[in-house]
């Protein structure tokens, strides 16, 4: 059952990722990115990270995509997502596909990644909260400060500049 869902979400990620490469319409690209991110969130739920799945839906599919859509609507006349043509890009594409094939081959061949039982947790949110306030307290506070800085910086950058 779980395995079926895993392949389903994997297929969705695969198809929407491939279509994202070849599409030329920015609005289509945003919707494809939405389907890709939602499938990744389902993937997280399968891999025993339910809190991160909810966070993914909230922040990425809720906030980040709206922001991208605003960006597209505010920059209407810029070029659509055209592919840069040229032979050097053929080289890049082939090298990236080759490296991905190498990684997949190494994964299928590797004896060091053993099949392990998933660790089933129930009180995961409690565990995450405990660790954020004890073990990762410095990183947690630094991220809070970073969010404050981003808030101020984005509102400063977003206002109309005086000499433009």
Partner 1 sequence: MLDPITFGLMIGAFLFCTGLLIVIIKKNAIFVMIGIELMLNGANVNLVVFSASDPNIQGELMGIFVVVLAAAESVVALAIMLNIYRHFQTLDLNSLNKLKH
Residue 146 binds partner 1 (CB under 8 A)? yes
94-113 residues near partner 1, rule: CB under 8 A: 96-97, 99-100, 103-104, 107-108, 113
47-86 residues near partner 1, rule: CB under 8 A: 47-49, 51-52, 55-56, 59-60, 63-64, 67-68, 70-72, 74-75, 77-84
The label of the residue with tokens 């910086």 reads: 153
Residue 133 binds partner 1 (CB under 8 A)? no
Among 1, 111, 123, 157, binds partner 1 (CB under 8 A): 157
The label of the residue with tokens 């596909």 reads: 97
**To 10 degrees, the CA torsion angle through 40, 46, 49, 50?**
90
The distance between the two most distant Cα atoms of the chain, rounded to a whole number of Å, is 62
Residue 37 binds partner 1 (CB under 8 A)? yes
State the number of binding residues for partner 1 (CB under 8 A).
82
Chain CA centroid to CA 42, Å: 12
Pick from 50, 74, 72, 54: nearest CA to 62: 54
The label of the residue with tokens 């779980």 reads: 2
Among 3, 112, 134, 138, binds partner 1 (CB under 8 A): 3
Q: What's the min distance (Å) between Cβ of 36 and partner 1?
A: 7
């Amino acid at each position: 059952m779980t395995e079926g869902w895993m392949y389903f979400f994997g297929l969705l990620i695969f198809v929407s990722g491939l279509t994202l490469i070849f599409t030329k319409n920015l609005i289509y690209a945003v919707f494809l990115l939405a389907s890709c991110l939602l499938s990744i969130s389902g993937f997280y739920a399968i891999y025993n990270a339910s809190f991160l799945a909810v966070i993914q839906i909230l922040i990425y599919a809720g906030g980040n995509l709206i922001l991208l859509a605003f960006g597209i609507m505010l920059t209407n006349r810029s070029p659509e997502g055209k592919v840069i043509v040229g032979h050097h890009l053929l080289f890049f594409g082939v090298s990236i596909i080759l490296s991905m094939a190498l990684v997949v081959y190494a994964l299928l061949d590797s004896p060091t990644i053993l099949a392990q039982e998933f660790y089933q947790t129930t009180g995961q949110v409690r565990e995450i909260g405990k660790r954020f306030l004890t073990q990762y307290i410095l990183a947690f506070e630094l991220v809070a400060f970073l969010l404050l800085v981003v808030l101020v910086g984005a509102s400063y950058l977003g206002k109309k500049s005086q000499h433009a």
